[in-house]
Structure 1
Amino acid sequence: MTKKILCPTDGSDHATQGVHKAVELARLTGAQLTICVVNIAHGAVRGPLISHWTDEEVAKLLSDSEAVAKADGLSEVGTVELVAREPAPAIISYADENGFDHIVMGTGDKRGMTRLVLGSVASDVASQAHCSVTVAR
């Protein structure tokens, strides 16, 4: 039985579809939902570690996704920022270390470079996660 759901988002339309599906599953099962943003880290070999998004951008992504979840009827929603160089391993590790038993994430029709970058995250999570993964379109 699903008790804890992790839903990664980047604020895109396809990620928001994942939030809608995660809320639906959480409501059906009574599971706890946590929405996460993976803030990609660049640099730090000999220079500073630079995050892709500012603190304000991360806060907006999380609050927007939390608002979607609440509009869909879920009153309790957790949020977390993960900072990592690669999103898929960060999502998988966080889910494993924190006892999540389901990951719900969105993906969409992608072409060219976008498909290689974004589509591979959902694919990697689905193929490597220790728990069930639902990929929403």
Structure 2
Amino acid sequence: MYDRILVPTDGSDPANNAVDHAIDLARQHGAELHALSVVDARHVGVGAPAVTPEEVQAAIEERSETATARVRDRAAVEDVDVVTAVRNGSPSDEIRSYADEEDCDLVVMGTHGRTSVERYLLGSVTERVLRRGDTPVLAVRGDD
């Protein structure tokens, strides 16, 4: 049923919870796991006057590389094959594009516990991927 499962990660607790579910699904289905981290370039340098935008970009990219490496290491314990990638751009756009380009069968994403007002004002990456994408999405609550 699933040959390629995409799990976007930023290293947060909700993302890590989704990673656990994605690894389990990949193991059960013999699927290849794709770990993707997206550097949101729109926010590089915002609120960081003591450092250059390039330094902030480098730090965010390093955090993204670390997040995908952790997925690879955790999946290796379960004998799950992993492809890692880091992209720059809008997280929801890049996740949808990656899922399409790599022909992923499922996207497993963590959700943050936001109120309806926060969700209305801020939006949700998971919600945008779910509503605008063509690939099925499994949304995993961050507190599960």
Instruction: State the TM-score, normalizing by the size of structure 1.
Output: 0.81
Map 1:122-137 to 2 at 5 A. Answer: 122-137=126-141
Letter in 2 for 1:27: R
Letter in 2 for 1:26: A
Segments of 5+ residues of structure 1 without an aligned counterpart are none
Matched residue, 1:51: 57
| More displaced 10-residue stretch of structure 1: 75-84 or 32-41 | 75-84
Greater share of helix: 2
Alpha-carbon contact 1:37-1:61 (below 8 Å) kept: yes
- Identity among equivalent positions (%) equals 34
Q: Does residue 11 of structure 2 align to residue 11 of structure 1?
A: yes
Alignment of 1:54-133 (within 5 A): 54-71=60-77, 73-84=78-89, 86-111=90-115, 113=118, 116-117=121-122, 120-133=124-137
Q: Measure how far apart 1:108 and its partner are.
A: 3.0
C-alpha distance 106-116 of structure 1, shift in aligned 2 (>3 A): farther
How many residues align? The count is 131
More deviation in 106-115 or 121-130? 106-115
Whole-Å Cα distance in 2 between the matches of residues 87 and 22 of structure 1? 18
TM-score of the aligned structures, taking structure 2 as reference length: 0.78
Contact 1:42/1:52 (<8 A) preserved = no
* Residue aligned with 1:51, SS: helix
Map Cα deviations across residues 32-56 of structure 1 (whole Å, 9 max, x no partner): 101000111138xxxx887384432
